[in-house]
Amino acid sequence: MENKILLVDADFYKDIADELVRGAVRQLEENNFKYDRISVPGALEIPSAIATISQEKSNHPYVGYVALGCVIRGETSHYDIVSNESARGLMNLGIDKGLAIGNGILTVDNADQAWVRASTRKKNKGRDAVLACLSIVRLKKSIYGDPK
């Protein structure tokens, strides 16, 4: 199996997601990892997409997954549901299925906070999500060796 990561981004805030992806791609390239990218409508769809794709190992041989997107607080409790359930879904995939997942879904109060975190010149959370994913990929390889 080659070193290939799947980037799954929520394009609800497409410009922010694209900036997160830029940071993620740079980090993957620096670490000599190949990648594919898919987009889903929102953060809640990311865990489902990863679960679906990870089940089909023969067609999608990914050693890890990176979730990227943004949830901005609004006037209702929808923010809490999306933030908590997308994180729970990703955590469950990591624990229950042993997937290497980096969570780069921003949960912020406003767009300014999102841009500070997404910007490749500032906090670069796309990069950080890749680093988290790669740390689990390397941990798995150190324990189990390269998957065949």
The residues annotated as belonging to the active site are 78
Q: Are strands 4-10 and 34-40 parallel, antiparallel or unpaired?
A: parallel
CA 17/CA 78 separation, integer angstroms: 19
CA 137/CA 98 separation, integer angstroms: 10
CA 130/CA 81 separation, integer angstroms: 25
Contact 54, 99 (CB under 8 A): yes
CA 95/CA 66 separation, integer angstroms: 15
CA 124/CA 92 separation, integer angstroms: 25
